[in-house]
Structure 1
Amino acid sequence: MTVPEIRIRGAVRDDERALAALDLATWSRLHAVLPAPEPGRPFYDERHLPEQYLVAETGAGELVGYLRLVPPTPLACHAHVRQIQGLAVAEAARGRGVARALLRAAMDRARGEGATRITLRVLGRNAPARALYAAEGFAVEGVLPGELLLDGEYVDDVLMGRSLLD
């Protein structure tokens, strides 16, 4: 199910404009907890650095997806864990294995950094994302019922994770 013309690579500073446009185009209440990004706003800032991102690029050089991978906290006792804090795929590239390729590349990168676990948080109502994560070996490890109030609706915050040792 992978797409041969898609290449996963680390993001660079020059990807900023394309990533900001992709972020704006893929924003949806299905997965977003923050308001829609403002057009023209920078993608990178002091907390969101290029080295934290993997990007999916077509053979023609178009960015069609990204994933942010970071340590969940700066604590030494958490150094063996990486957390996915954002995954987006352009509408035209969905259903072609791009998100799956980004997830697998993130797991490879995390292992390369010495991590033995990877986690993420996903909205309970985001069934497509939860199914993808489950298919890639992530299990629900906790649910915070009604943790988030989004557009007047209480939404569950679901923690998923998996070992990187298998």
Structure 2
Amino acid sequence: MPEPRIRPARPADDDALRELDVATWSTLHAVQPRPLPPYQPFFDERHTPGGYLVAEGRGGDGDGDGRIAGYIRLEVPTPLACNQHVRQIQGLVVAGWARGQGLGRALLRAAADEARRQGAVRITLRVLGHNTPARKLYESEGYAVEGVLPGEFFLAGRYVDDVLMGRSLTR
């Protein structure tokens, strides 16, 4: 199977990314309420195309060539000068039709490469404690649990931990 094409997001990706977010919404990873029509634009002044890498891929049935199959958002976690050496993953989504093809792993690696290119020496993320598939993926890519905020969110009738993970980009 060919490698996915990962590229910077463009303003023209707005509709496809919004549709992907709506289609993949789940309390397994989302703390925001389920999006309902009328849908807001995907990009806004806080979420600009410059913070995203998108993957174009192919579904297991051969469908989806050139379609956006996933994205990852990479940002500076705070505006503080003393924190500019860190990048934070603030979202990773893969379309249902593109799962199981290594796309999440490819996006994580592309984000780490982009963070290094930007001069970062460390990368972090937050993941919900009950999202076992994502946690296993992050651990397999060298991320370690660095903290847990027990019961930080109340989702689908239960309290869920917020797990803080990170890794060095220099090793």
Q: Same fold (TM over 0.5)?
A: yes
Query: CA shift at 1:5, angstroms?
Result: 4.4
1:19 aligned partner: 17
SS of equivalent residue, structure 2 residue 79: coil
Distance (Å, rounded) in 2 between the aligned partners of 1:137 and 1:145: 23
2:154 maps to which of 115, 131, 149: 149
Identity of aligned residues (%): 66
Distance (Å, rounded) in 1 between the aligned partners of 2:49 and 2:13: 8
SS of equivalent residue, structure 2 residue 71: strand
Query: CA shift at 1:152, angstroms?
Result: 2.5
2:97 aligned partner: 92
Distance (Å, rounded) in 1 between the aligned partners of 2:85 and 2:19: 33
**5+ residue gaps in structure 1?**
none
Divergent runs of 4+, >4 A: none
User: What is the root-mean-square deviation of aligned Cα atoms in Å?
Assistant: 1.1
1:26-41 map, 5 Å: 26-39=24-37, 40-41=39-40
**5+ residue gaps in structure 2?**
59-64
Any idea what the Cα deviations from partners look like across 1:33-78, whole Å, max 9, x if unmatched? 0011234321011110000000001273200000000000010010
Q: TM-score, normalised by structure 2?
A: 0.93
How many matched pairs? Answer: 164
Does the 8 Å contact 2:148/2:164 carry over to 1? yes
2:75 aligned partner: 70
SS of equivalent residue, structure 2 residue 54: strand
Q: TM-score, normalised by structure 1?
A: 0.95
